[in-house]
Amino acid sequence: MSTDAGQAPANSAVARARTAQVAWAALSVADRVAKLRAACLHLLAHADELAKLIVHETRKPLAEAYSSEVLGVGDLFGYWCKHGPAQLAPRKGKIPALEMPGKKATVLRVPRGVVACISPWNYPVSLPMRTIVPALLGGNAVVLKPSEVTPQCGLWLVAKLQDVLGEVVQGLAGDGAAGAALVRAKPDLVVFTGSTQTGRKVAVACAELGIECALELGGKDCAVVLDDAELDRTAAGVAWGILTNAGQNCSGIERVAVHAAVAPVFLPKLVAAVQAAAGDVPELVTAQQRAVVTGHIADAVRRGAKVLTGGEPQGDQPTPPTLLADVPSDAPAWCDESFGPMAVVAVGKDDAALVALANDSRYGLGASVWSANADRAQAIAGQLRTGMVWINNHSFSGALPDLPWTGVGDSGTGVTNSPDALHHMTRPRLVVIDSNRAVEPWWYPYGDRMVALMQVLVARQQRNGIAATFRTLQALKARVAEMKQVNRD
């Protein structure tokens, strides 16, 4: 395992992965599935060890370590081993038999080669596994660069996968410099999950080297609470959306837009739900993140924001779950990702005002709409500028491998999970077989007959009428007869 941040370890990890990928890609999909199932069982046999490591590195409650990380491992393997082969199966391409007789097209899904997976610390197991499993199934090798904040979880995964799969999975420890070196080592695809700021640097580096990249970046999700929402359930759900993983969640609820008609009743319920959850909310993982959250709260309060509960952390006390109101719309607490156990509430007089509040963000990962009226909620959902919208829930779908996890704007437009992710980790390869022995009309020499044929085809497109189609068919039938004759000769 490489453990320093120089270029050589990155080069060597990519080179080893590239060598191993050749034999891995040569396996049938069924053989890869069998090996991935064995790797899954090996990981699950050590599930308790993994859960403890997650708690050690992230301070998550053990329940969350299992629910949001360990359990997902089995689900990921299960989903991809069952549904991935059909998504990788060759498909027949359509070739018009009359105009282009004797030809068959097949579109294969082939691996890209080496996929670099650069990961953050907030979900150090489930996030990289969302990339690793489909990438391997697609015939790629993977180099994982875990966050320097949670290196052990990532390197543990690599070691356990290597036990079963060998060198086709590689790990590269280190900080941002190691990540940058990994990109410079020229993998074939970089799947980056992390902050918007770092994602931009990765995108530039990839563009300069001509490497494809997928970016899953920060968020500033908004929960939109309508005046017909079931308020007790909504308060419980929104409180969870704000506080799960201590708010260190890319799609954590950081803004709550409440309909004015229910704000006086809903906000006290939300405050109570947030206060009641405090015992289950661990301290933030890094001092740096605590400083960001503290800064957002202090800035908002200095500008006149009202603290509904919580507030700036005191001394070495844990960061308290915090709700703020009357925050100016240009304050970092409203505009920037806080990534902590806090949210800003704002009140809107009608649905249009609530939509405007929710869309007032450069980020666009997720949003939720809380309402008893599914039609009204869906109408609002259709106006939200985000990659994902949940109605009467928030964010939980990240654990479901069939559902795309994706954003727009400063949240990046990469996709993890779902067939879209597998499609991005593989490339289409077209194979066409031509059994027609006649010379094609579009080959040299161009004569009058080819011009006439093309004019007939254009006329069909222009008019798309019965007469044109009839003439086209006549011309094409004559052409087919001619070709058949050539093929017989």
> CA 186 → CA 19, 215, 393, 460, 469, distances in Å?
14, 17, 40, 48, 51
Q: Is 365 one of the binding residues for ligand NAD (CB under 6 A)? A: yes
6 vs 268 by CB, closer to ligand NAD: 6
**CA atoms of 55 and 71, how far apart (whole Å):** 14
- Find tokens 């490339």 and name the residue: 427
Residue type, 304: G
- Bridging pattern class, strands 103-111 and 91-93: antiparallel
Q: Which two tokens stand for residue 235?
A: 């308060």
Return the C-alpha torsion angle 121, 126, 130, 132, nearest 10: 80
182 vs 381 by CB, closer to ligand NAD: 182
147 vs 472 by CB, closer to ligand NAD: 147
Q: Is 179 one of the binding residues for ligand NAD (CB under 6 A)? A: yes
- Our answer to whether residue 250 is catalytic in this structure is yes
Q: Which of residues 204-223 bind ligand NAD (CB under 6 A)?
A: 216-219
39 vs 118 by CB, closer to ligand NAD: 118
CB of 126 to ligand NAD, least distance (A): 10
Helices of type H across 140-280: 151-165, 176-184, 196-209, 231-243, 263-277
Catalytic residue among 64, 216, 254, 337: 216
CB of 400 to ligand NAD, least distance (A): 14
Which range binds ligand NAD by CB under 6 A, 80-88, 171-179, 456-464, 471-479? 171-179
183 vs 226 by CB, closer to ligand NAD: 183
Q: Is 397 one of the binding residues for ligand NAD (CB under 6 A)? A: no
Catalytic residue among 117, 250, 335, 337: 250
**In the set 68, 126, 140, 147, which binds ligand NAD (CB under 6 A)?**
147
**Residues 58, 62, 64, 68, CA torsion sign:** positive
In the shown chain, the binding pattern of residues 338 to 357 toward ligand NAD, with x for contact by CB under 6 A and - for none, equals -x------------------
**In the set 61, 78, 176, 441, which binds ligand NAD (CB under 6 A)?**
176
Return the C-alpha torsion angle 77, 82, 86, 87, nearest 10: -30
Instruction: Please give the size of the binding site for ligand NAD, defined by CB under 6 A.
Output: 31
User: Is residue 419 within 8 Å of 406, Cβ to Cβ?
Assistant: no
In the shown chain, the binding pattern of residues 235 to 264 toward ligand NAD, with x for contact by CB under 6 A and - for none, equals ---------------x--------------
Q: Which two tokens stand for residue 399?
A: 């654990």
CB of 304 to ligand NAD, least distance (A): 27
Q: Is 148 one of the binding residues for ligand NAD (CB under 6 A)? A: yes
Q: How many residues does the chain have?
A: 489
Q: Residues with Cβ < 8 Å from 254, sequence gap 6 or more?
A: 219, 220, 221, 222, 242, 247, 337, 338, 342, 343, 344
CA-based radius of gyration for the chain: 27
- Our answer to whether residue 216 is catalytic in this structure is yes
Which range binds ligand NAD by CB under 6 A, 26-34, 57-65, 172-180, 310-318? 172-180
CB of 344 to ligand NAD, least distance (A): 17
Phi, psi at residue 131, to the nearest 5°?
A: -95, -45
Burial of 344 (0-12, 13-18, 19+ CB in 10 A): buried
User: Is residue 447 within 8 Å of 259, Cβ to Cβ?
Assistant: no
**Closest CB to ligand NAD belongs to which residue?**
179
275 vs 397 by CB, closer to ligand NAD: 397
Q: Which of residues 86-125 bind ligand NAD (CB under 6 A)?
A: 118-122
CB of 176 to ligand NAD, least distance (A): 3
Sheet holding 253-259, edge to edge: 306-309, 322-325, 342-348, 253-259, 221-225, 366-370, 388-391
CB of 145 to ligand NAD, least distance (A): 6
Which range binds ligand NAD by CB under 6 A, 104-112, 174-182, 221-229, 457-465? 174-182
CB of 404 to ligand NAD, least distance (A): 11
User: In 3D, which of 168, 148, 169, 150 has the Cα closest to residue 158?
Assistant: 169
Phi, psi at residue 244, to the nearest 5°?
A: -60, 140
Q: Is 389 one of the binding residues for ligand NAD (CB under 6 A)? A: no
User: In 3D, which of 8, 40, 320 has the Cα closest to residue 178?
Assistant: 8
Q: Is 410 one of the binding residues for ligand NAD (CB under 6 A)? A: no
CB of 388 to ligand NAD, least distance (A): 10
36 vs 250 by CB, closer to ligand NAD: 250
Q: Residues with Cβ < 8 Å from 339, sequence gap 6 or more?
A: 122, 218, 247, 248, 249, 252, 289, 292, 293
**Which residues are known catalytic residues?**
216, 250
Using CB under 6 A, list all residues that contact ligand NAD: 118-122, 127, 145, 147-148, 175-176, 179-180, 183, 193-195, 198, 201-202, 216-219, 250, 337, 339, 365, 405, 407, 411
